[in-house]
Amino acid sequence: MSSAYHSSACILSTGDEVTLGQIVDANAAWLADALTGAGVLPVEQATVPDDVAVIRETVARLARRSPLVVMSGGLGPTDADLTRVALAALVDEEVVVDEAALRALTDMLARRNRTMTDRQARQAMRPRSAHCLPNPNGTAAGLHVTVPAARTGAAWDTDVFCLPGPPRELQPMFMSYVVPALRTDPAISTQTRLLHVLAVPESDAATRLAHLTRRDPSPGEPLLAMTASGGILTLRARIQSRDSALIAGAKLDALEQEVRAILGSHVMGGRGRVGARGEAALASGVIQLLRERDRTLGVGESCTGGMLGELVTSIAGSSGVFLGGCISYANEMKVKALGVEQGLLEAHGAVSEPVARAMALGALRMTGATDALSVTGIAGPEGGSDAKPVGTVFVAHAARDGVQDREPRCDVRRFLFTGDRHDVRQRAAISGLSMVYFAHAVGGASASVRMNWQVG
């Protein structure tokens, strides 16, 4: 039986905890994204409970769809871990001990001062014809089983890779053992490119990019797709063609130029890493930009309660730029730590333009940074009024030119965010970082950039 190219793949997650909705399955999306990046098209994801017959049937069904099936979960030591047994049944083989995997497991347990039990030893077993995949990050070995066409009714032998459920075990195992085993058609080159877009409503971007995001481009032309998260749009361009990599790359370049011509400075500089979430890309972009300009950042947070700082410091290396700041959730903290005048609070309320401005200037003083962001708003569900409904948030960006005695600039904007408490807070944090980005990336063009949800 010939080995088919891995032109497409199916992803199978197993586990009662997933089918019952006790955990969100992030592995499927990670695997799909990683496969897409490697030039393999994911065509279906399935999730089934810990049930030998169902797992076996589902693997056979998916094998008829694709010559590559990547599974997660069911490799551990408990009675609910049934992947090995189900695959052995599918290929009609006995389960045997893999000596190398058993040695690795014994060593790992010894290092953790735990003893080998019969249950633990199951994790080093495999169907006779299968190969174990080493797992330096956990106790369960992975599996690679080639399921003959005759056992599934497919037109090809199917490669089934079984990976452990914990992402920190699954991801390195995929990169080390699945990626090198992928058989893609050498005549077809796949390239992807990721761009992040700030402060453009999704519906506007959809209209303006409609001619580029048509669903069925000519063969060999790039495909452009858009997703939105927290107000940041992520554009994914992907080309799969028989052209040389150089020509395919030039086509992506042309597409990127067209997108940048349409959306202008709203497209973040640089290109994202495949898989990067918009929020992390923005935080990373802001840090890089400030570092290049030799600037530092401080915060004064009310309704976001620390989310702005959390988002910035989620990026490794942010300590070179981010100094810290104040979570001034109570009004007293705004007065004591940020120096907001009590009179301002009484006259305008904590959620107001003057208070946002005073908080940003206070955060600038408190931290000694060149740039400071403040956020004050009503995240809900309570606390709204006719004049300031839930979702009303003031965001201020104060900046000075590095000279201590010069009057800092301050840009304050009023937003009305939709959604629940989490949405309002996340959009406020993202809008604040976008304001810093625009102020520095396009050389002070910040004031001219109108942002989504901005009012007044």
154 part of the interface to a second copy, by CB under 8 A: no
Q: Residue 376's CB: how many other CB atoms inside 10 A?
A: 28
The number of beta carbons lying within 10 Å of the beta carbon of residue 295 is: 18
The candidate with the shortest Cα–Cα distance to 380, out of 352, 410, 418, is: 418
Question: What does the alpha-carbon distance between residue 48 and residue 51 come to, in Å, rounded to a whole number?
Answer: 8
- Confirm if 230 and 280 have CB atoms less than 8 A apart: no
State which residue, 60 or 96, has the beta carbon closest to a second copy.
60
- Judged by CB under 8 A, the number of residues near a second copy is 86
Q: Of 1, 23, 97, 447, which lies in the binding site for a second copy, with binding defined by CB under 8 A? A: 23
Smaller CB separation from a second copy, 96 or 188: 188
C-beta closer to a second copy: residue 118 or 382: 382
Indicate which single residue of 265, 318, 374, 376 sits in contact with a second copy (rule: CB under 8 A).
318
Q: Tell whether residue 366 is a contact of a second copy (CB under 8 A).
A: yes
Q: CB 45 → a second copy: shortest distance, Å?
A: 4
Give whichever of 175 and 250 is closer to a second copy, judged by the CB atom. 175
Please classify residue 47 by burial: count the beta carbons closer than 10 Å to its beta carbon, then call 0-12 exposed, 13-18 middle and 19+ buried: middle
Least Å distance, CB 215 to a second copy, is: 6
CA distance 13 to 418: 34
Position 370: which residue type? T
Quickly tell me which residue has 């010894």 as its tokens: 110
Residue nearer to a second copy on the CB measure, 59 or 130: 59
DSSP class per residue in 230-276: TTEEEEEEEEEESS-HHHHHHHHHHHHHHHHHHHGGGBPSS-BPTT-
- Only one of the segments 38-46, 180-188, 265-273, 393-401 lies at the binding site for a second copy (rule: CB under 8 A); that segment is 38-46
Indicate the pairing of strand 297-301 with strand 371-377: parallel
H-run or E-run covering 173: helix 167-173
- Which CB atom, from 31 or from 75, has the smaller least distance to a second copy? 31
Out of 67, 142, 165, 380, which residue is the one contacting a second copy (CB under 8 A)? 380
Per-residue CA distances from 373 to 199, 376, 452 (Å): 17, 10, 18
DSSP-assigned letter for residue 304: T
- Which residues inside 237-256 make contact with a second copy, applying CB under 8 A? none
Q: C-alpha angle 438/443/446, rounded to 5°?
A: 35
Examine residue 32 and tell whether it contacts a second copy (CB under 8 A). Answer: yes
Cβ proximity to a second copy, 45 vs 392, nearer residue: 45
**How many residues in the chain?**
456
CB of 216 to a second copy, least distance (A): 9
**Least distance to a second copy from the beta carbon of 302, Å?**
8
Minimum gap (Å) between residue 90 Cβ and a second copy: 18
Which position has the token pair 């086509």? 251
Binding residues for a second copy restricted to 253-312, rule: CB under 8 A = 275, 299, 301, 303-312
Site for a second copy (CB under 8 A): which residue of 7, 29, 335, 416? Answer: 29
Q: Could you tell me if 437 and 289 are in contact, meaning their C-beta atoms sit under 8 angstroms apart?
A: yes
Q: Which of 64, 419, 442, 454 binds a second copy (CB under 8 A)?
A: 419
Q: Rounded to the nearest whole angstrom, what is the least distance from the CB of residue 1 to a second copy in the complex?
A: 26
Q: Report residue 326: phi and psi, to 5°.
A: -125, 135
Angle, helix 353-367 to helix 331-338, in steps of 10 degrees: 40
The CA distance from 70 to 13, in Å, is 9
Residues numbered 159-198 forming contacts with a second copy, rule: CB under 8 A? 168
Q: Which stretch binds a second copy (CB under 8 A): 85-93, 100-108, 177-185, 222-230?
A: 222-230
Q: Which residues from 382-401 bind a second copy, rule CB under 8 A?
A: 382
Give residues 321-340 in contact with a second copy (rule: CB under 8 A).
322-330, 332-333, 336-337
Smallest separation (angstroms) from a second copy to the CB of 336: 8
317 is a site residue for a second copy (CB under 8 A): yes
Question: What is the footprint of a second copy within residues 70-109 (CB under 8 A)?
Answer: 78-80
